[in-house]
Structure 1
Amino acid sequence: MFEKLQRAFWKALTPDLVAETVLAEPAADALLAPAVLSALGGANNLKSQQRVALTRIRVQLQDPARVDEAALKAAGVAAVMILTGGVVHLITGQ
């Protein structure tokens, strides 16, 4: 009971930072422009995607080696952070 109340409290304070317990998988192009999607290796390379802030999108990829950083920059992505486990953070704004 306390944990539910605590999660609701933090969700109210920071709605974009506390993940929901049940996440519906968005369509492959819901958050990403077609040029960004192709620079990430196509829709079939995406495992998941999540907006974590107004200017950041976290994607998990099947094969992170297929990421074309130059194409992402040309598509308007300000910065790319490639982490372990196929996780990539796309910084989309200032």
Structure 2
Amino acid sequence: MFDRLQQVFWKALTPDLVPDESRPPVVADGLAPAMLAALGGVENLKSHQPVALTRLRVELRDVTRIDRAGLSAAGVTGLMTLDNGVVHLITGLQG
């Protein structure tokens, strides 16, 4: 019981560092088709979420499948690759 409570506590404080026990299937809603293709397709995408008005956080199965030129053509102005397949895409203000 205490272990579960401790896990929930740390998950609330550091959501990216404590893995979920089960994740729902990824739906690529909100990603432009060109951006999704440049990330290696929907099968390469584990999760995605906006983290700011100008940044999108994606988790990929294989970061070597990223097409940087394709991302640039899709409007991504910057790319920051982190550990465990996490990538931050700097998109600027869209729309």
Structures share fold, TM-score greater than 0.5: yes
**How far apart are residue 26 of structure 1 and its match?**
6.1
- Structure 1: runs of 5+ lacking an equivalent: 1-18
Identity %: 58
Corresponding residue for residue 60 of structure 2 = 61
Secondary structure at 1:32 match in 2: coil
Question: Which residue identity does 2:70 align to in structure 1?
Answer: A
Do structure 1's residue 27 and structure 2's residue 27 form an aligned pair?
Answer: yes
Secondary structure at 1:72 match in 2: helix
TM-score by length of 2: 0.68
State the 4+ residue runs in structure 1 displaced beyond 3 angstroms: 23-26
Partners of 2:67 and 2:39 in 1: CA distance = 6
**CA-to-aligned-CA distance 1:13-50 (integer Å, 9 cap, x gap):** xxxxxx7xxx976621x121000000000001000101
**How far apart are residue 67 of structure 1 and its match?**
0.4
Alignment CA distance shift 1:93-1:25 (3 Å): farther
Secondary structure at 1:65 match in 2: helix
Corresponding residue for residue 42 of structure 2 = 43
Corresponding residue for residue 14 of structure 1 = none
Question: Which residue identity does 1:57 align to in structure 2?
Answer: L
Partners of 1:63 and 1:88 in 2: CA distance = 11
Secondary structure at 2:31 match in 1: coil
* Aligned length in residues: 73
TM-score by length of 1: 0.69
- Structure 2: runs of 5+ lacking an equivalent: 1-14, 16-22
